[in-house]
Amino acid sequence: AQTVTQSQPEMSVQEAETVTLSCTYDTSESDYYLFWYKQPPSRQMILVIRQEAYKQQNATENRFSVNFQKAAKSFSLKISDSQLGDAAMYFCAYRSLFTGGGNKLTFGTGTQLKVEL
Amino acid sequence: EAGVAQSPRYKIIEKRQSVAFWCNPISGHATLYWYQQILGQGPKLLIQFQNNGVVDDSQLPKDRFSAERLKGVDSTLKIQPAKLEDSAVYLCASSPGLAFPGELFFGEGSRLTVL
């Protein structure tokens, strides 16, 4: 079974600064997807960014980028030019491409990001 | 396009009572998931449907939890009898199908408090 570990329960960043959230995972599969989800206080999970394991190039979405290290099984999220609206719980998630397993999302425990003025 | 709809948003019950949550996925999405999110933890999959068939219910406490998706669209998750440890947010999510490689789409969740 796959596991996802987020070792930072809380992080703080000053507005306009850059912050990096860490995530490691364990799997024996070679092909899979990794995601970062944002969960604001309203609780609806919103996709931030996704990475296909077969792609070596790190995904980027505007101010959000990832550092994907497949061999190290590491998948960190970098938020540049942090804004007050970035404050939320961030979850790292793994999804198998093996449909026989139902390809469900396996989540980490989350990192609460605070953005300070 | 309408998102995943869930109701009720909030529910407070006494232990040993029953409760039901409803989910309507995005139109056309064949796969539906129910996740349990206990405060301070990441969501945990309870059950996954593909159309009206169960794909994975390995972590569903079947002595008290049940779920159905009779017509392959809406789904209901029931807890009977509820325990204190069932206090959590119940998230419903959907995706186009098992072969769809992308993300899941989530509803706003139903927060359950068991007293």
Reported as type and span, the H/E element at residue A56 is none
Read off the pLDDT of residues A50-108 as tens digits, 9 standing for 90 and up: 999 988 899 999 999 999 999 999 999 999 999 999 999 999 999 887 755 556 789 99
**Bridge partners (DSSP) listed for residue A4:** A25
Residues A16, A88: Cα–Cα separation, whole Å: 16
Residue B101 has pLDDT above 90, yes or no: no
| Contact residues, chain A to chain B, C-beta under 8 Å | 4, 6, 33, 35, 37, 42-47, 50, 52, 91, 95, 97, 99, 101-110
Read off the pLDDT of residues B2-34 as tens digits, 9 standing for 90 and up: 899 999 999 999 999 999 999 999 999 999 999
| B25 touches A: beta carbon within 8 Å | no
Q: pLDDT tier at A27 (50, 70, 90 boundaries)? A: very high
Range B82-99 burial, b when 16+ CB lie within 10 A, else e = beeebbbbbbbbbbeebe
Residue A8 has pLDDT above 80, yes or no: yes
Report the pLDDT averaged over residues A7-22: 97
End-to-end CA distance of chain B: 37
Looking at residue A110, what is its pLDDT? Answer: 96
- Mean pLDDT, chain B, rounded, equals 93
Nearest CA in chain B to A53: B101
Q: Is A81 left (phi over 0), alpha (psi -120 to 50) or beta?
A: left
Strand ranges in chain B using DSSP code E only, listed in sequence order: 5-7, 10-13, 19-24, 31-37, 44-50, 53-56, 65-68, 75-79, 88-95, 105-106, 110-114
Nearest CA in chain B to A93: B42
Output the CA–CA distances (angstroms, integers) from residue A40 to A109, B17, B54, B82, in the order listed.
Answer: 15, 30, 30, 27
Smallest CA–CA distance, residue A43 to chain B, in Å, is 6
Looking at residue B70, what is its pLDDT? Answer: 82
Find chain A residues with C-beta within 8 A of B41's C-beta: 109-110
Smallest CA–CA distance, residue A23 to chain B, in Å, is 13
- Using DSSP's 3-state secondary structure scheme, residue A82 falls into coil
**Bridge partners (DSSP) listed for residue B13:** B114
Residues B25, A111: Cα–Cα separation, whole Å: 27
Residue A41 has pLDDT above 90, yes or no: no
Q: Of B78, B67, B82, which Cα lies nearest the Cα of B32?
A: B67
Contact: B42, A105; criterion CB under 8 Å: no
Read off the pLDDT of residues B48-96 as tens digits, 9 standing for 90 and up: 999 989 988 999 999 999 999 988 899 999 999 999 999 999 999 998 8
Residues B104, A113: Cα–Cα separation, whole Å: 22
